[in-house]
Amino acid sequence: MDSGMSDSAHIWCLKEKKSSDIMDLDVVLSAFEKILPEYKQKIESNICKEAVGKFHSSMKEELIKMLAEVQMLKTLRRRNAKTVSDIEKKRQRLVEVQDELLCLEPQLKQLQTQYDELKERKSSLKNAAYFLSNLKQLHQDYSNIQERQPHVKETYDSSSLPALLFKERTLLGAESHLQNINHQLEKLLDQK
């Protein structure tokens, strides 16, 4: 093609296309559209004009089909490139998140261990508080009975041995025992 032809050629349907989007097939179709009517006017035979018209229609249809397919291929390639880029970004983010998880796993294990220890301490404190509450109630019940019946002599049998030991221990080392309990409770509270 000479430069005069490309400058004056009417590009068939590309008024809204950027010059970078114009393909060789666009120029061929435009030139074909311009030259064929001129050639058709020079033909005298109606049969030849009809054959040239059918050829023109078939050729135009094929060129338009090829242009559409090429455009679709370009679009698919752009989409594919964008999809590949998006997948690569997401893959990179996934690798980063996996690295973060690997770094956080020991911390999670440590926190789980601490949580389990605190849960156990809480349970121990509840049990100790429950025990002390029961002990206080038992002592209160015992004191109430002694106040109501101060002259009744206490009798013990073999099933009362723990109570006797406790009473004896209370009489001999009540202060020491309470200090020991207090010390243990302070330890538990300090660990919390």
Does residue 23 form part of some domain? yes
Least confident of 82-86, 99-103, 118-122, 181-185: 181-185
Does residue 136 form part of some domain? no
CB hemisphere CA count around 118 (13 angstroms): 7
pTM of the model as a whole: 0.42
Does residue 166 form part of some domain? no
Q: Please give the tally of structural domains in the chain.
A: 1
Does residue 158 form part of some domain? no
Does residue 182 form part of some domain? no
pLDDT digits (tens, 9 = 90+) for 111-158: 999 999 999 999 998 988 998 898 899 889 888 888 888 888 777 667
Does residue 26 form part of some domain? yes
Query: Which domain does 10 fall in, by range?
Result: 3-86
| Per-residue buried b or exposed e for 131-169, using 16+ beta carbons within 10 Å of the residue's own CB | eeeeeeeeeeeeeeeeeeeeeeeeeeeeeeeeeeeeeee
Mean pLDDT of 12-33: 67
Does residue 38 form part of some domain? yes
Q: State how far the Cα of 132 lies from the Cα of 180, in Å rounded to an integer.
A: 13
Least confident of 63-67, 106-110, 163-167: 163-167
Does residue 110 form part of some domain? no
Output the DSSP codes for 49-69: HHHHHHHHHHHHHHHHHHHHH
